Each structure stands twice: as C-alpha cells, then as structure tokens.
Amino acid sequence: MARLPPAQVWVLAAVIGLAAANEVRLHRLMALVVAAALTAVAALALPLPARVSMVAVGICLAGWGWGTVRLDTLDRSPLAADVDRSGRALLEITGEARHGAFQLRIPARIHRFEGRPVGERVQLELPLGRAPPQGALVDALVVVRLPRGPSHGFDERLWLRRQGVHMVLKVDDWQIVGRRHGLGGIADRLRSWLMRDAAPGLTGQRRAVINGVVLGDDAALSPALQNGFRRSGLYHLLAVSGQNVVLLAAGVLGLAWLVGLPRAVGHLGALAAIGAYVLAVGPQPSVIRAAVSGCAVSIAWLFARERDQWHVLALAAVVLLGWSPYMLFDAGFQLSFAAVVAIFLFARPLMRVLEGYPVNPKLGAALAISLACSLMTAPILLLQFGRVPVLGVIANALVEPAVGPLLGLALVTAVVHPVSPALAYGLAWLDGWLAAYVAWCASAIGAVPFAQVSGPAAVAVVVGVFVVAAYAWHRWRTT
C-alpha cells in the first residue's frame, strides 16, 4: 500500500480530531498545550517518519480541542433562562420560510429580547399565511419555547441542537423594521437577483424547478412534485451540488479565454464567482464542499501546485467540521461526501464493466456515476430516512443530458437579463422546456409503485447494491 504524503496524513488527523469531539469533549487548554508540545518535540528531535506521526497526533489533539470549543459555543443558549416567557424581540430572518401542515417555520437570529442583547440562532413558528422575507429585520412579540422532544421517531430538539438552535419562538405579532447589512445583506441581494433573473417570464412548476436546481430552494414546488423527486431518486438535484460549482467555474474560465484575458485572471474570477455563489445559496454542506474543492483547484493552479483529489476532499471536511462538528450527523454532509467518495472509488471500475456492452460512452459514464453514488448513499438513506429509491439510476440517466444545460442557461439568463431582457426571456423559455422535462421524469418515475421501498425491501436493495459493486470491483481488478 502506498504511503500517504505528510500533508494528507495531517489533514486526516484534523478530521479525526474534529469528529472525535462529538463523542468526548476534550479540555481545550490541555489539548492545545499537549498539541503544541508534541509538535515542537517532533519538529526538533525526531526523524522524518516519526516526525510526521507525532505532528499528526498534535494536529488531531488540536482539532479535538477546537471541536470542543465549537461544540461548547454551539450548545450555549442565552435564552435558556427565558423559557415560557413572552416579550418583544428584534429578529434577523436568515432563511426562507418552510410551510408545514399547520404553521410556518423560519430560521432566524435573535439580537435583542426585552431590550437585552442576546445573539442566538432560533427557529420561528408563525401561523400559515404571510411571512417575513429572508434578510428582514423584524420586531415581534414572541413566546420562548423549548423544541419538541422525541416523537414518532423524530427528535426535533436534538435535530435543532445540532444546528446550534436551542429555542423555538412562537410569533404572535410582527412587523418589518429594516434590512440587514454587511455580508448578509450582500448574500440577500445575490439570492434575490438569481431568483428574479434566472427564469424571467416563467411561472409555476417550470420556474420552481429552475430555482430549485440553481438555489437549492424547493419551497415553490408542489407537494406532489416534491414527492416525485424524492421517490425517483432525483431530490439531490434540488440540493446545490458540486456540478453547479464546476459549471460556474468553467464558465468564468471559458469567458476569460474568450475575451483574451490571462488564465490567472480567469482563475481569480472563478474564485470570486464561487464565493458569490456560496453567499447566494447559503452554507449547504454540498456547496461548501464543492466550493472548497473548486477554490483549491484555482489556488493550486495560481501557485503551480499539484492537486490531489483526496486531499482536497479531506480539506473540505476540515472546513465544515471546524465550523460545526455536529455537521458529521447531517444527512446532507453524509450524502455529499459519500457520493464523492463513491465516484473516486467505483465510477472507473463500473465504466470498465460497461465497456463490454453496447452502451454509448457518455451514457455509460452517467450510468457508472449514478450506480457508484447509489452504492454509497443507499445505506445512508436507509438509516436517515428509512427509505431507498430503487429507480434512481434510470432517473438520473434520463435527466443527465438536461441538468447541465438547464443550470448553465439559468446562470447565463441571470447575467443577460439586466442587459438584454428580450434575449433573457428567450433563453428562459428554452430553459423552461428543460425544467418541464426534468419535472416530467421525476413525476413519471416517482409514480411507479416500487420506485421507493422501505423496511425489509430497502435492506434487500442495499445488499443487492453492494453485491453489484463487489462484482464490478472484481471484474475491474481481474481485467
């Protein structure tokens, strides 16, 4: 087995340390002191192999200590003494409203409660109807409540705590008193621009699908179509993925080449575009992972350094877990990283297996990637949601030719619309047909009775997927 380079060992050590904080909180001072001491000893006294190992131990302990600090911060609630109290609060709306059966749920940050500075993430619960938009500053009369505990297999309190949310505020009356500024305000304007200009002239499900693919926002989709995306195995299209970031960066680099700018300028533009896109869509695990990877590619080119895909993937995990070690339990984090690992490990062997069949190479690559991702994500879907889509490979193969052009047309339309509305309307009209096709695939495949299975049938599907993967791996290793 090839020995890992020191940089990879150290990044993996940081990932392990950050993840370990979820199980055992390490005293932060002891961790940092021991890490610094070990690193100093390793750097001064040991030969290279032992030095690498000792530095890795030091980094792991430092990550463990940092993870403890972050978890202690995330677990702190200034509103803990105000449970069941009512009062006026100044709130910053940080996300879009989610419609439930009986109420709206909105992520927010409370700045003041009864005139007292607070500074804590909360979840708002409002009656169905009008809701404040993302980025609004709201003065509201609220009641502070604890989230609900375990019920029917779902523990809302634990789920929210892992997002740094400890209190639910029931809103009785509210009014907008301003808009947030700074980086959050920039993010709001970017998101508003994309939502408005990516699909001008379109309405209904076509516009909803485009906004879902571009921004990861499924709120405007009908419940039936949302269910179709879930059952067909296409719901990942509505969570911003690495494909979005790759297409964006490639577009900026292509534009720089087209107008004759140096490639270095193109990479700097790609970094700026990726940063703006992350602000617009929000810190979803999949987009942060893809953004870190995309930025690493451009930075590596600018500094003439070789890029290693596993090192970049581990670096993305460090960024996410460094912000919140609880991210390890997030379904989006698990599915995003599992899908990328699957592509690294199994896509090539599966392509080799398909080479013996009369399959178009591009279709074969799409099938191989979809099969690889199904292999790694099926157990996670079973454990997290208790259901597994059976026809996801077929559904993804059908929509693969349309998703890239759909996303590319939407981004181009958003750029063109302020300059040439007529051209933008034409591009959006074309994009609407692609969105309609994707929606039709989701609905048609999701309507098949066995498109999604649960219970023993889901376990059987997971076992079958692993058998197929083992066969493909064996074929690849013996050819």
Q: Render pLDDT for 429-475 as a digit per residue (tens, 0 to 9).
A: 999 999 999 999 999 998 888 878 777 777 777 777 677 666 666 66
The arithmetic mean of pLDDT across residues 126-134, rounded, is 85
328 has pLDDT over 70: yes
Residue 154: CB partners within 8 Å, gap ≥ 6? Answer: none
> Is the pLDDT confidence value at 42 over 70?
no
Supply the pLDDT for residue 44. Answer: 60
The pLDDT of residue 75 is above 50: yes
Instruction: Please tell me the least confidently modeled range out of 64-68, 179-183, 219-223, 467-471.
Output: 467-471
Strand-strand pairing, 116-127 and 168-179: parallel
CA-CA-CA-CA torsion sign (257, 259, 261, 265): negative
Strands (E), 76-115: 86-93, 98-99, 103-113
In the chain, residues under CATH classification 2.40.50.140 are: 80-180
Count of CA atoms in the C-beta half-sphere (13 A) of 344:
13
CATH class given for the domain over 80-180: mainly beta
Instruction: Choose among 354, 440, 351, 359: nearest CA to 395.
Output: 440
CA–CA separation, 5 and 115 (whole Å): 54
Residues written for the chain: 479
Closest CA to 63 of 315, 250, 294: 315
Coil/strand/helix, residue 163: coil
CA dihedral 337, 341, 343, 344 (to 10 degrees): 140
pTM of the complete model: 0.80
> Among residues 141, 165, 176, which one has the least CA distance to residue 79?
165
